[in-house]
Amino acid sequence: MDPDAAASYMVAMTSIGTWLHTRLHGRSVGSDAEGNVYYEERRPSAGHRGRRWVLYAGTPEASAVPPEWHAWLHYTTDTPLPAAARRPWQQPHRANATGTAESYRPPGHDYEGGRRAGATGDYEAWTPGS
């Protein structure tokens, strides 16, 4: 079996295993605007806190989890923070775009043509003793 086929097989088996575990042991807690669904263990072991996990709507990407659900997943809060509690100055959550076509590229970046505006000439370098 070639390596790509083996990797695809493992992803499929992991997805099936996660789906089965979720059906048998999980209780849905809620979902976010992106369609990710959050679960917690139905019956945690005595003396242990219940496990929490997320089933991603698309490609599994940890940065796609909004802050209010991130706090819940990491046991910072007992209940997910309501989206309504967000401040007016807070921007909507966006997943990390590093390494994608949507990532930020400053002027002069090779993918943006490799040229940037010339210097204005208002900078004077410091030299010792002057």
Q: Is the pLDDT of residue 74 over 90?
A: yes
Give the SS3 label for residue 24. helix
Instruction: Determine the structural domain holding residue 78 and report its residue range.
Output: 3-85
Q: Is 98 part of any domain?
A: no
Q: Is 106 part of any domain?
A: no
pLDDT tens digit string along 102-122? Answer: 888 888 888 777 777 777 777
pLDDT tens digit string along 17-28? Answer: 888 888 888 999
Q: Is 59 part of any domain?
A: yes
pLDDT tens digit string along 5-44? Answer: 544 554 555 678 888 888 888 999 999 888 899 999 988 8
pLDDT tens digit string along 75-84? Answer: 998 888 776 6
Q: How many domains does the chain have?
A: 1
Question: What residues contact 38, with CB distance under 8 A and at least 6 apart?
Answer: 28, 29, 30, 31, 32, 52, 53, 54, 69, 72, 73, 80
| Predicted model pTM | 0.65
Euclidean distance between CA atoms 31 and 52, whole angstroms? 13
- Specify whether the backbone of 113 is left (phi greater than 0), alpha (psi in -120 to 50) or beta: left
3-state secondary structure string across 11-23: HHHHHHHHHHHHH
Q: Is 111 part of any domain?
A: no
